[in-house]
Copies of this chain bind each other. A is one copy, B any other.
Amino acid sequence: MRTAILADGTVTVGDRPDPVPGPTDLLVRVAGAGLNGADLLQRAGNYPAPPGVPDDQPGLEFAGEVVAMGDRVHGHEVGDRVMGIVPGAAQAELVATPADLAMAVPDDLDAAVAGAVPEVLVTAHDALFTQGSLGLGDRVLVTGAAGGVGTAAVQLAHAAGATVVASARGTERHGDLAGLGAHEVVTPDDQADAGPFDVVLELVGAPSLAGLTRSLATGARVVVIGVGGGARLELDLLHLMSARALVRGSTLRARPLADRVAATRRAGTAFAALWSRDAWHVPVADRHDLADVGIAYDRFAAGGHLGKHLLVP
Which A residues contact B (CB, under 8 angstroms)?
205-206, 209, 224-225, 227, 231-251, 254-255
Best-surrounded residue of A236, A239, A244 (most CB of chain B within 10 A): A244
Number of copies: 2
Do A242 and B224 touch (CB < 8 A)?
A: no
Chain B residue at minimum C-beta to C-beta distance from A251: B241
Instruction: Tell me the bound Cα distance from A209 to B249 in angstroms.
Output: 16
Chain B residue at minimum C-beta to C-beta distance from A250: B244
Question: Can you list 17 contacts pairing A with B, beta carbon distance less than 8 Å?
Answer: A205-B237, A206-B237, A224-B240, A225-B241, A231-B236, A231-B237, A231-B238, A233-B234, A233-B236, A234-B235, A239-B249, A241-B249, A242-B249, A242-B251, A245-B248, A245-B249, A246-B246
- Residues of B within 8 Å of A254, CB to CB, are 242, 244
Q: How far is the CB of A129 from chain B (nearest CB, A)?
A: 16
Do B244 and A246 touch (CB < 8 A)?
A: no
- Residues of B within 8 Å of A242, CB to CB, are 249, 251, 254
Nearest 6 pairs of A and B residues by beta carbon: A240-B249, A241-B249, A246-B248, A231-B238, A231-B237, A233-B235
Q: How far is the CB of A208 from chain B (nearest CB, A)?
A: 11
Best-surrounded residue of A237, A244, A254, A255 (most CB of chain B within 10 A): A237
